[in-house]
Structure 1
Amino acid sequence: MLIRNKLMLRFTLLVLAIQVSFSAFIYYFNASTRAQRFEHRLSTSAALASRLLVRTGKLETGQLGSLRRNDLLTLPDEQISIYGPDGALRFSSADNIDQEPNRTRLGELQAKNSVTFTGAGRREAVGTVYRHEGEPYHIFVSAEDVPGWVRLHQLGLLLLVGNVGALAFTILAGWYFAGAALKPVARISRQAGRISATNLGRRLSEGNGRDELAQLAYVFNNMLAGLEQAFEAQKSFLAHASHELRTPLTTLTGTLETALAYDTSLPEARQSMTQALEASRHLNALTSSLLSLAKVDGSLPKFEAVRLDECLNQALSFARAKYMGREFRLSFGDLPEETETDVFMVDGNAELLTTALLNLLDNAGKYSAGPVQAELGYEGPTTLRVRVVDAGPGLSAEELSRIYEPLYRAAGAVGRPGYGLGLPLTQRIVQRHGGRLELASVVGQGTTATVWLPAA
């Protein structure tokens, strides 16, 4: 079911329930008021009969005098019956009155001063006790409240017609207001339907910028901005990767073609094979780096408790072996005073963490003009920090803003080995472990790379 139909249905049911409840209250209140008013009129008629007949002693003599029986009747189809102290019928306003309902309530009147009951059809009756000279007289008066029932019937008909008309109006109003409320949603749906992979730069209208739909459009626009950035990064990555892969492939192909066409001696062939092997190794290293980057973006193996100090020591060993003439120093920063477990434990993958730390040490060893300082410690009670400081040429602000782009290389990296994949790979590994990587650099003074990871 459409949301518009759901809103209209719920709105209609809610309003209908309120209308019916209010109408039922009005009808019940009027019905109760009519019954009370008519009961009061019956009681008044009984009191009048008691004063005119019992008090004057006319029942005892059996003579009404100038008073006729019909003179006591003031209500439509009224019937009056009076029973004496002995329970015998002393007076009735008509000879054809059914006295059985009255006689059955004589005993009830002994304990109560009045009773109310209904007779055949819509006849309503009241029985009261009137004491004259210490003797109880039981007076029953019944009649039909014809005008009252007519007014109640008219009220019920009026409420029914009013509720039907109000229901029709509510349905129309619900349809209109539901459509008006969902109109921005329809607009957002149309705008979103026009956005595709070829025009991710388009954005949704955020309306008044304050209500929930504006917040939805704002969130959707942020998502589009993220997708656009990811698509642009992917396009840039593919362009750079294609360029980087094309160079060693062209070198390898050209060397083999030249060797096949012109090499006639074994030394010449060995020289061509050496060049082809170097190009092949370059291609293999670049491909491995690209695969590592793709692997980190995919699903990772299940994390387990890892000693970060062991990962850092292993990375230092690899860096020292690669840069024999470079000094790598290790120091420890602030540590927790008391702990029940190993202070350097983190949840993660040891191989990936070692790779991330080795990339930082490799960059420092590659560009630093002096010793490389690595520090392991705590920043806060639950955060481990690894800091790598070099004395290299440093990076400008513009270079720092692009340093995490895959295959991007700063101006100082020209002529040095590398593919521009180390820092992007390191950043993604750190982020997948719930941490963050930050580089601070000053041109001519060096670069500081800091990694924060949550302690286990």
Structure 2
Amino acid sequence: MKIRTRLTLLFTAVIAMLLVAFALVIYLAYSDNREEEFFKRIRQQAITRADLLLNARVSPKTLQIIYDNTPNALSREEVAIFDSTHTLLYHDAVESDLIKETPEMMQKIEQKKQIHFYEQGKQAIGFIYYHNRKPYLITAAAYDAYGFAKLHRLGIILLITCLVSTVFIFLAAQFLAWQALQPVSQLVQEVEHISATKLNLRVQEGNRKDEIAELGITFNRMLDRLEQSFNAQKAFVSHISHELRTPLAAIVAELGLASSRDRSLAEYQQVVQRTQDDAQKLVRLSNDLLDFAKASYDETEIAFKPLRLDELLLDAQQKVLKQQPDYKASFEFHNEPEQDEWISVNGNWYLLEVAFANLIENGCKFSADQHVTVGISYSQQFTVLEFKDHGIGISPEDLPYIFQPFYRGKDHPTITGNGIGLSLVQKIISLHHGIVLVSSQPGSGTTFIVKIPHL
């Protein structure tokens, strides 16, 4: 069921129930009022009859004649008058005797002074009437044909009104639902025109105040993120293609030259060495790309557990020195941890080892002495690691872009690398809810500061 239909039916049902409730209140209120008014009228008629009998001294036979000749008066009300000893003084219709005045009824009237009840579908009343300080018991009963006819007509009018109103409410609800959801329909039509080749398109944001406008604004923000991600993916693929093409082309060229004619053993060894260097570049690039992909996983898909950072840094140091024996890395504790948990974090060993190895290798690579110092300190919330070198530094022009994938500084193009390391570091530290800061002065060295929440 569409939202428009659901809203229409819901709105119609709610308003219809309110109308029915309102109609029932009117009907029941009128019914109670009719009943109360009719009890008053038959009491008044009974008192009039008693006045004629007791005050005007009209004989019972004359009153009977008057009663017989007024057949429509108050729907043939029957009145009975008794004295204090329960002796019948007058009765409008002794033959029918609608109200069977039992001793219990008479006693009840004397106790309560006045009672209301129904007898054979007719309203009846019993009360005490005083004349010359003498009590008389009077009963009267009648059927309110006129009042019930009006009540019946009122019920029909209310029923028809509710039905007709429900139809109009349904039509109005359809119009209002269409009016309210029209911006959503327009939004759907605009979204259908957006595709992978048209990510620059945006939906209308309306008045930027209501909920539909908020939906449009949120959707446009999502499109902005998708477009940025899509462009980043295209740039990433382009960089990968370029990085792969360069060593592969070099390998093909070297092998082609080597096979073009006979060469000496030394020349063949040089070809093999250059080919091996290019193959190592491919291996390093492949490993970096795999690590980059792992760091791009959803956090919920990565296994985290408590780790000691000092042990992890030692493993990262050994990993770097195994590949580059000339590199050197030393560790300094700036302050002693107050608790063992301050040296431990909740993380993934493999990814953090890759990040720290990249920072150590990066510092050694760009330093003349190939040495990096790792400082370790703590705060109430973070474990802080400082990777400091005394190398060539980073120029102010390059500094804003060093964490972008495949970005390489223009001042040192001869130093090998593929531009993935620092972007990989930032992704890994972000996965661990940490931050990476950098400060550098050209010619004076660079310091990378890593802050990771400890246990």
State the Cα deviation string for residues 132-185 of structure 1 (Å, max 9, x = none). Answer: 567643212222323322322222222122211211111111111111111111
Matched, 1:22 2:22: yes
Map 1:14-413 → 2, pairs under 5 A = 14-54=14-54, 68-69=66-67, 75-103=74-102, 105-121=105-121, 123-132=122-131, 136-298=135-297, 301-319=302-320, 328-333=329-334, 337=338, 339=339, 341-369=340-368, 372-379=372-379, 381-413=380-412
Distance 1:190 1:68 in 2: 84
Distance 2:61 2:418 in 1: 132
1:354 Cα deviation after fit: 1.9
State the Cα deviation string for residues 356-395 of structure 1 (Å, max 9, x = none). Answer: 112112222222356634222224x122221223333333
Distance 1:235 1:115 in 2: 94
Q: 3-state SS of the aligned residue for 1:437? A: strand
Q: Which moved more, 1:387-396 or 1:414-423?
A: 387-396
1:8 Cα deviation after fit: 1.2
Q: 1:242 to 1:269 in 2, by over 3 A?
A: same
| Identical positions, percent | 33
Q: 1:328 to 1:281 in 2, by over 3 A?
A: closer
Q: 3-state SS of the aligned residue for 2:207? A: coil
Q: 1:238 to 1:68 in 2, by over 3 A?
A: closer
Indicate conservation of the 8 Å contact 1:323/1:365, yes or no.
no
Indicate conservation of the 8 Å contact 1:233/1:405, yes or no.
no
Task: Specify the code of the residue in structure 1 equivalent to 2:106.
Answer: L
Matched, 1:5 2:12: no
Indicate conservation of the 8 Å contact 2:342/2:382, yes or no.
no
Count the aligned residue pairs.
450
- Unaligned segments of structure 1, at least 5 residues: none
State the Cα deviation string for residues 83-125 of structure 1 (Å, max 9, x = none). Answer: 344434331223443345444733432432222222334x322
Q: 3-state SS of the aligned residue for 1:412? A: coil
Distance 2:244 2:179 in 1: 56
Indicate conservation of the 8 Å contact 2:98/2:119, yes or no.
no
State the Cα deviation string for residues 188-232 of structure 1 (Å, max 9, x = none). Answer: 212222211111122222211122222222222222111111111
Distance 1:187 1:65 in 2: 83
Distance 1:69 1:286 in 2: 119
Q: 3-state SS of the aligned residue for 2:407? A: coil
Indicate conservation of the 8 Å contact 2:329/2:373, yes or no.
yes
- Unaligned segments of structure 2, at least 5 residues: none
Q: 1:188 to 1:365 in 2, by over 3 A?
A: same
Indicate conservation of the 8 Å contact 1:333/1:375, yes or no.
yes
Q: Which moved more, 1:439-448 or 1:353-362?
A: 439-448
Q: 1:413 to 1:265 in 2, by over 3 A?
A: closer
Indicate conservation of the 8 Å contact 1:326/1:365, yes or no.
yes
Distance 2:236 2:378 in 1: 35
Task: Specify the code of the residue in structure 2 equivalent to 1:331.
Answer: E
Distance 2:432 2:335 in 1: 22
Q: Which moved more, 1:357-366 or 1:317-326?
A: 317-326
The alignment's TM-score, normalised by the length of structure 2, stands at: 0.89
Distance 1:147 1:323 in 2: 112
Superposed CA RMSD in Å reads: 2.8
Indicate conservation of the 8 Å contact 2:42/2:77, yes or no.
no
Distance 1:21 1:238 in 2: 67
Q: 1:385 to 1:219 in 2, by over 3 A?
A: farther
1:318 Cα deviation after fit: 4.8
Distance 1:107 1:100 in 2: 15
Q: 1:175 to 1:369 in 2, by over 3 A?
A: same
Q: 3-state SS of the aligned residue for 1:289? A: helix
Distance 2:237 2:399 in 1: 21
Distance 2:36 2:439 in 1: 90
Distance 2:132 2:402 in 1: 117
Distance 2:132 2:169 in 1: 66
Q: 1:128 to 1:164 in 2, by over 3 A?
A: same
Distance 1:137 1:211 in 2: 75
Distance 1:116 1:335 in 2: 95
